[in-house]
Amino acid sequence: MNTLAILEVLAINLEAFAEHDASRRARMLARCFTPDAEIWGHSQVFAGYAAISEKIAGFHNNFPDCRLVLASGLFAFENIVRFGTAIIGPDGSVMARGETVMELADDGRIHRVVPLWDMELPPLPNGWAKHLAVPTVPDAPDAA
């Protein structure tokens, strides 16, 4: 995929996330998402324009006067794109950071979005085989 084309679609997506007017937002979503697009939330999948628009309205309720922005360059392979994101508060401060993995359709629009926010992963499960895990390194002795 062409990086410039990806950035153009991504910019429309981020503008849609900033849009409060539902009818203007719907037009933007149709330009950047496929009709069957999905955003995978941490506990819910938002599928289709109406559900994605509702998710954005929820974003505005949960983060008043905030914006979703691009926070890194892109890593793209085939139709998968990975990049950093952030939620910026009304005073310009970073309220949250994350990474997003996005699947693009053949026409260049967004088909699936998996946002991953500031969440630390849990420790390995109890009893996990040591040879299938990162080795633990004992603390280095204090320098004298």
Listed residue (137, 142, 79, 88) closest to 113, CA to CA = 79
In this predicted structure, what is the pLDDT of residue 143?
A: 55
Hey, where are the domains in the chain? Answer: 3-119
Cα(119)–Cα(83) distance, integer angstroms: 16
| Predicted pLDDT at 42 | 80
Q: What is the pLDDT of residue 136?
A: 78
Residue 120: pLDDT band with limits 50, 70, 90: confident
Q: In this structure, which amino acid lies at residue 95?
A: M
CB 116 within 8 A of CB 99: yes
Q: Is the pLDDT of residue 28 over 90?
A: yes
pLDDT digits (tens, 9 = 90+) for 40-99: 988 899 999 999 999 999 999 999 999 999 999 999 999 999 999 999 999 999 999 999
With cut-offs at 50, 70 and 90, classify the pLDDT of residue 141.
low
pLDDT score for 139: 64
Compute the CA torsion angle 64, 65, 68, 70 (nearest 10 deg): -150
pLDDT at 118: 84
Among 113, 16, 100, smallest CA distance to 56 is for 16
CATH topology of domain 3-119: Nuclear Transport Factor 2; Chain: A, (3.10.450)
Number of other CB atoms surrounding residue 48 within 10 Å? 15
Q: Compute the distance between CA of residue 5 and CA of residue 81 in angstroms, rounded to an integer.
A: 12
